[in-house]
């Protein structure tokens, strides 16, 4: 069994924020793979289903972004799973918009949701890092991540969410490198956006 958790903030006013791309990813997975209706459990909105025969639980923690680990840890302990059975989808400002990287373990790199999760379950969970770009100035990061995607962003965001779903059997099989490659094949990242200087690091 897998736990596929998206990071984000609950409530309609946050739904379109860059910080909520993790919520958008697991919502798309639930729709594409016909998971159960969302219900309250584990301090989260959760949905149950299967991806290519692999049982999975989708989580949208309702604890607010910076305390996401409380919900993820509760679900992991309930099902007696290991960190390797947990995949966290989250926004990554240090990847250009539309890029996607899979990673297991490592530090939080300033992401409080990842820090919270590591504090609850240890660092060795799987991370789907979804690039949203960087505003170019450190002082603008907070405002940037809590603002909505631009209309122009839909040109890469919609294909990226679709690719995350279409390639999901590879994720369910534990083939993270192949999953990353297939997502990027199905939804190549845009070449650049002159409005938004970014840091593009792995």
Q: Report the alpha-carbon distance of residue 25 to residue 129 in Å, rounded.
A: 11
Q: Based on the residue annotation, tell me whether 19 is a catalytic residue of this protein.
A: yes
Q: Which residue has the higher pLDDT, 89 or 197?
A: 89
pLDDT digits (tens, 9 = 90+) for 143-167: 998 899 999 999 999 999 999 999 9
Backbone torsions φ then ψ of 63, nearest 5 degrees: -90, 0
Q: Report the alpha-carbon distance of residue 75 to residue 194 in Å, rounded.
A: 42
- Average pLDDT of span 45-55: 98
CA quadruple 156, 7, 95, 171: dihedral sign: negative
* Residues of the chain above pLDDT 90, percent: 82
Q: Cα dist. 96→39, 48, 66, 101, 164 in Å?
A: 33, 32, 22, 11, 17
In 3D space, the residue among 179, 164, 173, 165 whose CA is nearest the CA of residue 130 turns out to be 164
Indicate the DSSP class of residue 130.
E
- With 50 as the cut, is the pLDDT of residue 195 above it? no
Whole-number average pLDDT of the chain: 92
Backbone torsions φ then ψ of 161, nearest 5 degrees: -65, -40
In 3D space, the residue among 55, 69, 58 whose CA is nearest the CA of residue 28 turns out to be 58
Q: For the domain made up of 2-186, give the CATH fold.
A: Rossmann fold (3.40.50)
pLDDT digits (tens, 9 = 90+) for 52-102: 999 999 999 999 999 999 999 999 999 999 999 999 999 998 899 999 999
pLDDT digits (tens, 9 = 90+) for 123-136: 999 999 999 988 88
The domain segmentation of the chain, as residue ranges, is: 2-186
Q: Catalytic residue among 19, 90, 97, 134, which? A: 19
């Amino acid at each position: 069994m897998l736990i596929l958790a998206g990071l984000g903030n609950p409530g309609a006013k946050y739904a379109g924020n860059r910080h909520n791309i993790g919520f958008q990813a697991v919502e798309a997975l639930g729709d594409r793979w016909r998971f159960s209706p969302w219900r309250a459990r584990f301090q989260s909105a959760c949905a149950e289903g299967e991806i290519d025969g692999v049982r999975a639980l989708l989580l949208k923690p309702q604890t607010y972004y910076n305390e996401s680990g409380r919900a993820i840890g509760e679900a992991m302990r309930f099902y007696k799973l290991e960190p390797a059975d947990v995949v966290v989808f989250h926004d990554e400002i240090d990847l250009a918009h539309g890029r996607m990287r899979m990673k297991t373990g490592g530090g939080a790199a300033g992401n409080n949701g990842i820090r919270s999760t590591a504090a609850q379950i240890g660092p060795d969970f799987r991370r789907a890092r979804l690039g949203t770009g960087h505003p170019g100035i450190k002082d603008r990061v907070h405002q940037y991540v809590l603002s909505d995607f631009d209309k122009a962003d839909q040109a890469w965001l919609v294909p990226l969410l679709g690719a995350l779903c279409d390639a999901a059997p590879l994720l369910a099989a534990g083939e993270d490198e192949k999953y990353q490659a297939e997502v990027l094949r199905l939804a190549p990242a845009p070449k650049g956006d002159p409005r938004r200087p970014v840091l593009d690091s792995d």
